[in-house]
A and B are shown apart, each in its own frame.
Chain A
């Protein structure tokens, strides 16, 4: 404080303006990424949570889009939010949408690429998901919660938590979209995302869902553009050691 010149106000008042500005702008940055989370808890609670979060996770770059990454995890350990069991997963969904919005769109994998590969090599193929694809699984109906908390939602705002959980794919084409996934699809795409071969991913999908239709599911994910074109042909041809 001794470095601040007393002016029209005492030094502490001048300093307070900056302190307020920093908290206000970072709180607004969180609100922009987490509008549904904010709506669920209200402005006062959200500000309280943000004020606790900000000193723990200060931005580490001049690009504010990186800020707020740990908010869902923070909320899951934030005692005042303990009773809102679904809140961290809703925040996780909003962060996935935020990342998806800022991610690039890769060339989708074309069926013709697949048809140029001998069928006996399929099991060893490794794919990648679109850069904008994010997978989420929650024990709570977070998609319904998100939907009824949109500003233009007309129907009832009530969600029955007994509805149960949901598995989701968040992906951007023109706009960011959310699609519900079957247990098999979720396991398949998660395994692909983790770098498994198609054979391993198929096994995971079958384990999760006995009646899983692998061929149909692959065709529909390729059609939706969930899988990215692999730039290096070698990456998808055969040899599992790359």
Chain B
């Protein structure tokens, strides 16, 4: 991998280890203390400014860590034209920071130019599949690189969906040539909310396409009729999700694994501990195989 632009930096590729999200609250502490962790992931859109403090911290972080750019706002599944300004900003970030991985979601978030700031679900139909895969291809062609598509947490299913989410994701990857970012917490959240089997989901995912995994905490919303899990990224990874992750590692092998925590951020050591736990699971699984 040629990292000729900035010789002072560590290499780009993301190692098959745990990483943490770099968030504004931790900018100073991370760039001052340089904690031991495999890599960092940032939300691409937070660095779309024309300069500014976030970019300065990212530059400092990039010297010491491989970086993954994770998008939440490209709105790939939308019927609006792909946002060229958004793509241009992303491309320029890619050129400057040389991320090891670039990702966004199997979802949409804009309609008629209005953005809802949420990862909204697609109907899983043949028509939506062609539309989504085509737009992934467009984005990859423009960016000149592979992107990863992440399975979202979902809270509703459409009456006209005909394809299970895992097959939809597999087909998107096959048609567009993109990779898969498998969010283990999202599998657990969606499987619980819709009453399907998380194991079946995991077994159906093509192992050779998964490049990264995500782990996060959820919130339980209680209603008179029952509980709905919400993917809030505001808590430690739940035990059920660790168990599912353990199985995923055995099936898919060791992969870059992100601890995602975005609201009610804990002190940095708490995040690092979660990352260590993911590393331990990978080391154990690896030892068993060897």
Contact = CB atoms under 8 A, between A and B. Distances in A.
A5 B159 contact: yes
Contact of B117 (A5, A7, A15, A64): A64
A61 B228 contact: no
Interface in A1-46: 2-5, 7-11, 13-15, 17-18, 21-22, 25-26, 28-29
Most chain B CB neighbours (cut-off 10 Å) among A13, A59, A60, A62: A62
Interface stretch (A71-79, A98-106, A118-126, A206-214): A98-106
Contacts of B157: 4-5, 7, 14
B195 interface: yes
A62 B158 contact: no
Interface residues of B, number: 45
Interface in B2-40: none
Nearest to A60: B113
B193 A62 contact: no
B230 A21 contact: yes
A4 B156 contact: yes
Given A3-B160, A13-B225, A17-B228, A26 B155 contact: no
A236 B161 CA distance: 63
A172 interface: yes
Interface string B181-210: 000000000000111000000000000000
B51 A9 contact: no
Contacts of B114: 58-60
B115 A17 contact: no
A104 B115 contact: no
A62 B156 contact: no
A63 interface: yes
A3 B160 CA distance: 7
Contacts, number: 123
A163 B75 CA distance: 49
A7 B196 CA distance: 11
A67 B263 CA distance: 18
A120 to B, nearest CB: 35
Contacts of A131: 50-51
Interface in A79-123: 101-105
A179 interface: no
13 contacts: A4-B157, A5-B156, A8-B228, A9-B223, A9-B226, A13-B228, A18-B155, A21-B155, A59-B115, A60-B115, A62-B74, A62-B75, A63-B86
Given A2-B159, A17-B228, A58-B116, 6 more contacts: A4-B158, A17-B230, A22-B118, A61-B115, A63-B45, A63-B73
Interface of A: 2-5, 7-11, 13-15, 17-18, 21-22, 25-26, 28-29, 58-65, 67, 101-105, 131-132, 172, 175-176
Interface of B: 45-46, 48-54, 71-75, 83, 85-86, 89, 109-110, 113-118, 120, 123, 155-161, 193-195, 221, 223, 225-226, 228, 230, 263
